[in-house]
């Protein structure tokens, strides 16, 4: 998955930040799906690599993700943003125990669980029936 994320990073469209990111997610079927960050001149329309990979998996028929790998710069270990973490939570079969591996191109990596990054995710089921 790390190599797939590195390859996806090469396709990133990052003319504004020059910060290329690639991601790979493992779907419940065992298939790996990739994504890269895609920037836009209207910065709010920029999409992170993690969400592109997850949306790629879901639009290809997956209903859950099992793991995520994210790769950024030569010596930069990326950290997923809050929006990506919430999307990971939405499609993670393992919930807060989803494994997230973050790597730099130099090979240095850290591994965390979703709960490490997002200890109190929004869960619509907890709010149903409230007014």
Note the pLDDT tens digit of each residue in 13-31.
Answer: 999 999 999 999 999 999 9
Considering the candidates 10, 39, 50, 64, report the single residue annotated as catalytic. Answer: 50
Give the pTM.
0.92
Interatomic CA distance for residues 106 and 71, integer angstroms: 10
Q: What CATH number has the domain spanning 2-126? A: 3.40.140.10
Note the pLDDT tens digit of each residue in 68-88.
Answer: 999 999 998 999 999 999 999
**CA-closest candidate to residue 98, choices 108, 85, 110, 109:** 85
Termini Cα distance of the chain = 43
Strand partners, 69: 24, 101
Annotated catalytic, 64?
A: no
Paired tokens of 109: 């990596």
């Amino acid at each position: 998955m790390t190599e797939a994320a590195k390859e996806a990073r090469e396709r990133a469209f990052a003319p504004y930040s020059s910060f290329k990111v690639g991601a790979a997610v493992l779907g419940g079927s065992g298939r790996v799906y990739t994504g890269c960050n895609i920037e836009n001149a209207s910065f709010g329309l920029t999409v992170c690599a993690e969400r592109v990979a997850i949306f790629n998996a879901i639009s290809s028929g997956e209903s859950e993700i099992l793991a995520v790998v994210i790769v950024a710069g030569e010596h930069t270990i990326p950290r997923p943003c809050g929006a990506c973490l919430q999307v990971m939570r939405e499609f993670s079969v393992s919930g807060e125990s989803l494994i997230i591996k973050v790597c730099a191109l130099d090979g240095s990596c850290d591994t965390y669980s979703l709960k490490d990054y997002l200890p109190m995710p929004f869960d619509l089921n907890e709010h149903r029936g409230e007014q």
